[in-house]
Amino acid sequence: MNTMKLLNKLLAGSIAVMLLLSANKGFSQGAEKASLSITLSYFEVNNQLPHISAMVKTKVDGRFKPAAGIPLKLFLSKDSSGTVIGNIITDENGQGFAFIPPSLKSEWKSSKTHTFLATFDGNKKYESAKADLTVAKAKIEISTSDKTITAKVFQLNDTTWVPVKGVDVKFGVKRLGADLPVNETPTFTTDSTGQAAADFKRDSIPGDSKGNIVLVAKVEDNDQFGNIAVEKTVPWGAKFIPVSNFNERTLFATRDKAPIWLIIVSGGIIIAVWLTLILLVQNIFRIKKLGQETE
């Protein structure tokens, strides 16, 4: 009997220890932080102020999903903590961006390549993370003649710009949602002179009131140069003359601008019906007169 009691106590004790251990394991799992993946991109349009864009993702149930609300610190140079571009917080798409501020102009000019750095210090939910991106300074020049667009890609070599061979360039027309390719070829590669040319085959594309459209030549997601683009306005589009029926005779215009057909049809019906009714009222007086004559 005593042996049985002892066995029961041992069993209960073992179960309690097991439960405690498993609970401890559970807590330790809950305290584990998730890791973040940061991707940096470099953008420069029309040789103007460049900006750095960051995309932050985290793995949820085995899939990468955007991480919102992540504070990042951006630096111009990986090795210099004094070159802060700025602090950003990612939006609901896990994205954020910052322009290189004018205060870093001298640091920006001091080198032909820069290695941008993004750091995250970590918080209760995520481990700290960092990412860098090395970009060589480059530019595109665009020229047009006889419905042909030519782009020249240059790279900064110390103090001079030298043509770059073998860079993929896209030519497009700027539209509201995205850039429309100028012809059926998606990309063109620069030759030894750094040139790539494309024929413009969007003749009937609507432009502004003067037929102006904006052409764009761009290098996208290039390992060496990042994203650079240049634009040029040309009068190659069809003139867009806006058609407005404001203040004309329409169904939705003011009362003095009712469509003529509506006035005629409705007026005709109203006159016809009410004329009949007036005659029928007059008929009552005729009947009355007949009655008085009979008297």
Residue span binding another protein (CB under 8 A) among the ranges 44-52, 167-175, 231-239, 274-282: 274-282
Give the separation between CA 128 and CA 26, rounded to whole angstroms. 23
Residue 254 near another protein by CB under 8 A: yes
Q: How far is the CB of 284 from another protein (least distance, A)?
A: 8
Residues in the chain: 295
Residue 291 near another protein by CB under 8 A: yes
Q: How far is the CB of 57 from another protein (least distance, A)?
A: 31
E strand residue ranges, the chain: 36-45, 51-60, 63-66, 71-75, 84-89, 95-99, 113-120, 129-136, 138-145, 148-157, 160-163, 168-174, 179-181, 188-189, 195-199, 213-222, 226-234
The pair phi, psi for residue 208, each rounded to 5°, is: -85, -165
Residues in 172-211 that interact with another protein by CB under 8 A:
none
Residue 271 near another protein by CB under 8 A: no
H or E stretch covering 2: helix 2-30
Report whether 151 contacts 195 (CB < 8 A).
yes
Residue span binding another protein (CB under 8 A) among the ranges 106-114, 186-194, 232-240, 281-289: 281-289
* Ordered alpha helix ranges (H), 100-201: 105-109
Report whether 117 contacts 78 (CB < 8 A).
yes
Q: How far is the CB of 257 from another protein (least distance, A)?
A: 9
Q: How far is the CB of 188 from another protein (least distance, A)?
A: 43
Give the separation between CA 72 and CA 75, rounded to whole angstroms. 10
Residue 246 near another protein by CB under 8 A: no
Residue 275 near another protein by CB under 8 A: no
Q: How many CB atoms lie within 10 A of CB 74?
A: 23
Residue span binding another protein (CB under 8 A) among the ranges 7-15, 80-88, 127-135, 244-252: 244-252
Residue 260 near another protein by CB under 8 A: no
Paired sense of beta strands 148-157 and 195-199, if any: antiparallel
Residue 245 near another protein by CB under 8 A: no
Nearest CB to another protein, comparing residues 16 and 262: 262
Q: How far is the CB of 274 from another protein (least distance, A)?
A: 7
Q: How far is the CB of 92 from another protein (least distance, A)?
A: 18
Nearest CB to another protein, comparing residues 34 and 263: 263
Residues binding another protein (CB under 8 A): 250-255, 258-259, 262-263, 266, 270, 273-274, 276-277, 280-281, 283-284, 286-288, 290-292, 294-295
